Amino acid sequence: MSIDHYLDDEQLALVEGVQEFAQQVIAPVSAQHDRDKTFPYEVISQMGEMGLFGLPIPEEYGGQGGDYFTLCLALEEIGKVDQSVAITLEAGVSLGMMPLLKFGTEEQKQRWLPDLAEAKHLAAFGLTEPGAGSDAGGTQTRATLDDGTWTINGNKEFITNSGTDITSIVTVTAKTGENEISTIIVPTETSGFTAEPAYDKVGWNASDTHPLTLEDVQVPEENLLGERGRGFANFLDILDEGRVAIAALATGAAQGCVDESVAYAKTRKTFGRAIGENQGISFKIARMQARAYAARAAYYAAAKKLISGQPFKTEASIAKMVASEAAMDNARDATQIFGGYGFINESLVARHYRDSKILEIGEGTTEVQLMLIARSLGL
């Protein structure tokens, strides 16, 4: 059951191609990368060759010339089988490339985007700090401009794609004045930039996430991304788009739990019959499917408004909240359906159970989404 009737032939072909790739290339190595906590370079390279990282990037910058909705469709299919790979794509595009595409100079776009669009390199966005998460306006990292050079000092936390062997740049938010936050592109080979040891996470174990230290990091004045003092406002714009992408990823996770549970319920037998014949199990899976369907409808609606140029901030918050909660609820129910097998890390539903919680936290917590939705109602 789906709402594929909203998709044209080209979009359906993309979905089928990514679905096949996810099942045949990503899924077979997911458990090992999760267990070993290793970054799947070989998978990311193949995704780059397929053009997945360049889906919403114009052809003149090495991309596929598609739109943000096509990225979301790909994220849903990958999210079904491996959230670590999906978040690598999501962050690499929405947080890594889209700020460059939307706010960068022509020179910055030509310099950085082509290699990023082919996943030869990855980009990250350094926003969150030890004392500035949901309250990102509390940024303490500072950048001073002297004789054409920015000098940056500060710390960042929970930065995705920031420490891989192919990470080339991290765009950081920094205070450039008393009440002024700007964004500055920092190449990772810059002296004073350090990706500290990776986090030991509950989930997303094959995703690259590090705290960052910037100690007297110096970059040219032209590495300013966008207008000085508009860094925070620009990032909020990027974050709205990212929430739609996260909703697509979460929808994939929710649907993946449904698909696994249906297959298991048809083959697992207790007391002489398949467990799917028990109403308690079948009704649980029916509710799971309803959640996944609602999540998909929510992110489709938000994505359609996004690509048509209409205001979509509230729809993005609704989609992000509905889909992330669907992923977490479905992962819990799928684990219960699988019983003991659902508690074994080799199991896909076990990985979804560990992975899905962060979907209710990253790129704006559920509480932040509720605040934004309430604000849109005049409350």
Measured distance CA(167)–CA(280) in Å, rounded = 48
Q: Which CATH number fits domain 4-122: 1.20.1440.230, 3.40.50.2300, 1.10.540.10, 2.40.70.10?
A: 1.10.540.10
Q: Minimal CA–CA distance to 125: which of 169, 62, 187?
A: 169
- Both tokens of 86, joined, read 């999906």
Out of 90, 260, 360, 363, which one is annotated catalytic? Answer: 363
The continuous run of DSSP H or E covering 371 comes out as: helix 366-376
Using the predicted structure, report yes or no on whether residue 4 has a pLDDT greater than 70. Answer: no
Using the predicted structure, report yes or no on whether residue 16 has a pLDDT greater than 80. Answer: yes
What pLDDT shows up at residue 77? 98
In the predicted model, what is the mean pLDDT of residues 109-128? Answer: 96
* Bridge partner residues of 160 (DSSP): 209
Q: List helix spans (H) across 268-359.
A: 279-307, 313-338, 348-355
Q: Which CATH number fits domain 123-229: 2.60.120.10, 1.10.10.10, 3.40.640.10, 2.40.110.10?
A: 2.40.110.10
| Assigned CATH topology for domain 232-376 | Butyryl-CoA Dehydrogenase, subunit A; domain 3 (1.20.140)
What pLDDT shows up at residue 322? 98
Q: Strand 180-187 relative to strand 193-195: parallel, antiparallel, unpaired?
A: unpaired
Question: What would the pLDDT profile of 290-341 be if each residue is shown by its tens digit?
Answer: 999 999 999 999 999 999 999 999 999 999 999 999 999 999 999 999 999 9
Amino acid letter at 30?
A: S
Using the predicted structure, report yes or no on whether residue 1 has a pLDDT greater than 70. Answer: no
Query: Does residue 59 carry a catalytic annotation?
Result: no
Question: What would the pLDDT profile of 249-287 be if each residue is shown by its tens digit?
Answer: 999 999 999 999 999 999 998 898 998 989 999 999 999
Q: Minimal CA–CA distance to 282: which of 293, 274, 272?
A: 274
What pLDDT shows up at residue 132? 73
- What share of the chain in percent tops pLDDT 90? 89
What pLDDT shows up at residue 134? 65
Angle separating helix axes 9-21 and 41-50, nearest 10 degrees: 160
What pLDDT shows up at residue 178? 86
